[in-house]
Amino acid sequence: MARTQRYKSTVRKQQSTGLRPLIAFCLISILVLTFYLREGDTGIIHSVRSGVTAVTMPLRVVGSAVATPFNALGNIMGNLTASEETLSELKAQNEELTAQVAELSEAQETATRLEDLLGLQSTYNLQSVAARIIGTSGDAWTKTVTIDKGTADGFTVNMPVTNSAGVIGQIIEVSANSSVVRLITDESSGVSAMIQSTRAQGMLQGQPDGSLLLNYVPIDAEVQAGDMVVTSGIGGVYPKGLPLGRVSSVESADNALYYTIVVDAFSSVENQEEVLVITSLTEDQTASADDIASADDNPAGATSDNASQDSNQDASQDGADASGDGTTGGE
C-alpha cells in the first residue's frame, strides 16, 4: 500500500514537472510575439529573425535541391503505378485544356483584329460596316476576295473596302449576301493617290506581279523613298487620306516626264479575316478644291483615269457589268 502511494506521488510530480516548461515556453512565445508586433522593422527581434533567415537560407536551398530529384522520382513512380482509368482521365483532361487554350487564343486574336478595325474607323471617322472575308480568287490573273455581306446589308458596287492597315480595294460585284472585292494589287485596279507630305498627285495602279506603281507623278515633284502614299479623295469613291502604302523606290529615266515610283502596300488580305466596307463619305472626306486643281494640272493622269474607266466599261459589256467605273481609276 505504501509503495502504491509513493508511486502515485512520483507520477504526479513528474507530470507537474513536465507541464512547467510547456507553460513557460508558451508565456515566453506570447511575450516575444507581442514585442515583435509592437517594435519597428529595425527592432532587435526583427534583426535576429533576419539574421537567422540569412544563415539558414543556404541550408534550405541545398535541402530543396537534394529533395527535388526524389520528388520527381516519386511522381514518376506514381505515374507508373497509376491505373489505366486514371491515365485515361488525365489524358482527356489534358486534351480538353489544350482545346480551351486554343479557343481562348483565337478569341484574343479576333478581339485584337476587331479593336484595330475600330481604331481605323474612329481615326478617320468612317461611315462603315464590318464584314468577314470568306474566299479568295482562284486564279493567277485576278486578285479578289469575297466577303460575307451584300445588298441585304446596303452594299453596292464601287464601295471601298479597308482592313486595319488601310485600303485593300473596292466592291466590283454584289449579291444579296456576298460581295466580290477587287484588290488594289490587281492589274485592273487604279486609285487616285497622292504623296502625303508634298501632296503630289498620281494614280496608284496594280501590276501583273502584284506590285504597285504610283504613275503620272511629274519629275518636278518632291518624292523620296519612305514617303507615305494616301488616297487623294478625287472622284468621290475613297475617303481622302486613307493609307495605301509607302514609297520603296523612285526612279526617273532621261527625258522622262514622270517618275517610276514603286509602292509597298500597307494592307494585305493574308492572315486577315475582318474588313470594313465604307458605305458613304462625309463632306470633309472628299478632295479639296486645291487637290482637284492640282489634278487638273496633270492631264496625263486624268487621261489614264478615263481610259481605265473605258476599259472597265468595255469589259462590263462582255458580262461583268459590275465592274463599271470601279477600281480602275475608280477615284
- Domain-embedded: residue 4: no
Range in 76-80, 151-155, 191-195 with the lowest mean pLDDT: 76-80
Q: Note whether 134 and 193 are same-domain residues.
A: yes
- Domain-embedded: residue 196: yes
- Domain-embedded: residue 23: yes
Q: How many CB atoms lie within 10 A of CB 77?
A: 10
Under 8 Å between Cβ of 133 and 269: yes
| Rounded distance between C-alpha atoms, residue 278 and residue 131, angstroms | 11
CATH number of the domain encompassing residue 160: 2.40.10.340
- Domain-embedded: residue 326: no
| Rounded distance between C-alpha atoms, residue 278 and residue 238, angstroms | 8
Cell of 169: 480595294
| Rounded distance between C-alpha atoms, residue 247 and residue 211, angstroms | 12
Q: Note whether 309 and 270 are same-domain residues.
A: yes
24-67 pLDDT tens trace: 777 777 776 666 666 666 667 666 666 667 666 776 666 676 66
Q: Which residue has the higher pLDDT, 282 or 311?
A: 282
Work out the mean pLDDT of the chain and round it to a whole number: 78
Which of 20-29, 94-103, 255-264, 265-274 is most confident?
255-264
Alpha-carbon torsion, ordered 324, 325, 327, 331, to 10 deg: -150
Q: Which residue has the higher pLDDT, 65 or 232?
A: 232
131-186 pLDDT tens trace: 999 998 867 788 999 999 999 999 999 999 999 889 999 999 999 999 999 999 99
Q: Which residue has the higher pLDDT, 116 or 41?
A: 116
Q: What is the pLDDT of residue 328?
A: 41
Q: Note whether 287 and 156 are same-domain residues.
A: yes
- Domain-embedded: residue 208: yes
The pTM (predicted TM-score) of the whole model is 0.61
Q: Note whether 58 and 173 are same-domain residues.
A: no
